[in-house]
Amino acid sequence: MWNPFARKYSSADKKIMDFLRKMLLFSSLTDDELMIFLPNLYLRNYSKDEIVFFRNDPSQALYIVKSGQIRLDLDIGERFEELGKARTGDFFGENCLVQGSNRLYNAICCDTITELYILPLANILEIFEEYPHIKSKMYEMMAQHQQEHIQNLFNAYREAFGIFELSHAYFKNR
């Protein structure tokens, strides 16, 4: 049923909301809820080999790849181990949702130009304070996202059984 009083969105806003909704983190939010984030998204271009952040930097923003690729890697002494690439439609830096956390990996631009939406932690926290139901929905999606990472870790361990001790990841202080 058509509602003449329903909120109208510009085609540009609708396009960004549809883009965000494809990501697990934002998938359960309504148009009205997504609209709250739009004024807080900052689009920035990165050049090839430009650093987005280093491991151990304070986690102060969530990043969403609008176009291009970001290489996520872990530095081990002088070596770098690639964890994967964040591509168009992916997000990274989600550990900013854990207050007081530092980056766990390095993020480096792979393409000539990569466009990233940056969502500052300060803005996320303001939204969460004003709209606790959004916080609840996003943390639920974040838990699902982390579950997928853990499942991938276990699958990789099964394939490389014996190369490292998985017990070091759990109950470390016991």
First-to-last CA distance in the chain? 59
| Of 118, 10, 12, 103, residue with least CA distance to 63 | 118
Share of the chain above pLDDT 90, in %: 67
Q: Is the pLDDT of residue 169 over 60?
A: no
CATH fourth-level superfamily of 11-169 = Jelly Rolls (2.60.120.10)
Structure confidence by residue, pLDDT tens digits, 121-164: 999 999 999 999 999 999 999 899 888 877 877 777 777 766 66
pLDDT at 163: 64
Q: By the 8 A CB rule, do 118 and 66 touch?
A: no
Q: Is the pLDDT of residue 173 over 90?
A: no
Where does the pLDDT of residue 170 fall: very low under 50, low under 70, confident under 90, or very high at 90 and above?
A: low
Burial class (CB in 10 A: 0-12, 13-18, 19+), 72: buried
Where does the pLDDT of residue 21 fall: very low under 50, low under 70, confident under 90, or very high at 90 and above?
A: very high
Q: State the chain's maximal CA–CA distance in angstroms.
A: 63
Structure confidence by residue, pLDDT tens digits, 75-119: 888 888 888 899 999 999 999 998 899 999 999 999 999 999 999
pLDDT at 155: 76
Q: What average pLDDT does the structure give for the chain?
A: 88
Enclosing H/E stretch for 109: strand 106-109
Q: Is the pLDDT of residue 35 over 80?
A: yes
| Average pLDDT value for residue range 44-58 | 96
